[in-house]
């Protein structure tokens, strides 16, 4: 049986709209509107009830900050959120590429008879 006190993954849907709205100090209708605009994508229960995750709640808080603290309009918020998502995806791609390159370097070092752990070994006496 699951422990209700155990921490949940941040993307696990767990808050109904009224609870999520209270957490972000917004009206539930505002959350529905943001969903229609594509700014947030809550999961749905089998009964079609919106279920917001901790990530969704944090995203709503970020939207709230952009609008209320920085004066950004909804079109601007949409652009910012989309660019933030693209940057995060690009970062993941770069990290994956970095791992591929490091693996290739290790493979080449082993093929050359060098240690693969990244330790630099001075070359044999080279003419100079």
Question: Could you give the domains of the chain?
Answer: 15-111 (1.10.1660.10)
Structure tokens of 95?
Answer: 């990290």
Predicted TM-score (pTM) of this structure = 0.69
Q: Please, what is the Cα angle at 25 between 67 and 65, to 5 degrees?
A: 25
Q: How does pLDDT run across 34-82, given as a tens digit for each residue?
A: 999 999 999 999 999 999 999 999 999 999 999 999 999 999 999 999 9
- Other Cβ atoms within 10 Å of 87 Cβ, number: 10
Maximum Cα–Cα distance across the chain: 78
- pLDDT tens sequence across 83-126: 999 999 999 999 999 999 999 999 999 999 887 665 655 556 55
């Amino acid at each position: 049986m699951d422990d209700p006190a155990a921490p949940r993954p941040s993307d696990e849907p767990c808050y109904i709209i009224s609870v999520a709205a209270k957490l972000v100090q917004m009206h539930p209708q505002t959350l529905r509107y943001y969903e229609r605009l594509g700014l947030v994508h809550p999961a749905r229960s089998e009964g079609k009830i919106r279920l917001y995750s901790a990530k969704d709640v944090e995203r709503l808080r970020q939207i709230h900050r952009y609008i209320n603290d920085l004066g950004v309009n909804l079109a601007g918020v949409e652009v910012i959120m989309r660019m933030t998502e693209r940057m995060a995806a690009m970062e993941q791609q770069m990290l994956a590429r970095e791992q591929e390159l490091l693996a290739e370097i290790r493979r080449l070092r082993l093929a050359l008879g060098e240690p693969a752990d990244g330790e630099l070994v001075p070359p044999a006496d080279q003419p100079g």
